[in-house]
Amino acid sequence: MPELPEVETVARLVRPHLEGRRIERTRVAWERTLGGRSRRSFSQAVRGARIRSVGRRGKFIVMPLVRSRRKIGALVVHLRMTGRLHVEAPGVDPGPYARVGLGLDDGRWLHFVDVRKFGRFQFEPDPDQRLADLGPEPLGDEFTCEGFREMLAARKRLIKPLLLDQSFLAGLGNIYVDESLHRTGIHPLTRSDRLEVSRVRALHGAVQEVLEEAIEREGSSFDTFYRTPEGQPGSYQHQFRVYGRRGKPCLTCGDPIQRIVVGQRGTHLCPRCQPRPRARVR
């Protein structure tokens, strides 16, 4: 599933083509993609509206809409496993997996393409309410080191599942959690409330560094599904230190990378660089 860097990349690349454009036509091939709305309801909600901006919240792409200069809601897109956004010239065939299309006032079309049909392309009258359960943005100003320390201490959970919890921190997924934990030498089974202040500080910095580096490389393409709106793969997968490298030597110490299951998620780590936490003696 695309994580924050991939979603941010998609938002940045489609933004110049969509901001300020008016939606003149709609085409819906798979109604379930609309998240409960009918084709007719969706079309009535968005036709004639302009896309005011293109942004991101967690793993969601958010496109606020205006009609007659009044806010009417937003398009909220979740790519899930195989969703893609493409802006195409008139007459370009989007292929058999195009689920939703928006005809724009310059003749081009915004297509939502999704092979496995898990993604969502929804109109939300109140996007803030729809996204209210998300935690802070790890690249936002509100994500301070001191605030992060307080959040970790209050939860008292295993660090890997906690960082994956979107209500705790928005946008992180399996790849970038594993990479961040390895950089800081933290085992995924460590309790969040038992991290020393120095480790919290290091993890706070590592999360931001990993995400920024991945965005710079337009995300990670470790399978055939994630591609940018321009059809290109990301390149951060070539920088992976642990994720997907089971049995290969750790780039820090040379020991083989291991794969374990934590919270029902495959988890990659170096057992030497990330020693398992010792049980406390009562």
215-243: burial string, b at 16+ Cβ within 10 Å, e else: bebbbbbeeebbbbbeeebbebbeebbbb
Is residue 245 part of the annotated active site? The answer reads no
Active-site hit among 50, 56, 59, 227: 59
Q: Is 117 in contact with 92 (CB distance < 8 Å)? A: no
DSSP assignment of 209-229: HHHHHHHHTT---SSSS---T
Q: Which two tokens stand for residue 54?
A: 């293109």
Q: How many helices and strands in the chain, by DSSP H and E?
A: 7, 11
What's the length of the chain?
282
Residue 133 has a CB neighbour count (10 Å cut-off) of 10
Residue 13 has a CB neighbour count (10 Å cut-off) of 17
Specify the amino acid at residue 111.
Answer: H
Specify the amino acid at residue 272.
Answer: R
Tell me the C-alpha distance between 73 and 111, whole Å: 20
239 closest CA partner among 184, 175, 193, 194: 175
Is residue 3 part of the annotated active site? The answer reads yes
Cβ-Cβ contacts under 8 Å for 225 (sequence gap 6 or more): 81, 82, 115
Active-site hit among 52, 191, 241, 265: 265
Is residue 265 part of the annotated active site? The answer reads yes
Is residue 59 part of the annotated active site? The answer reads yes
145 closest CA partner among 218, 197, 104: 197
Q: Where in the sequence numbering do the catalytic residues fall?
A: 2-3, 59, 265
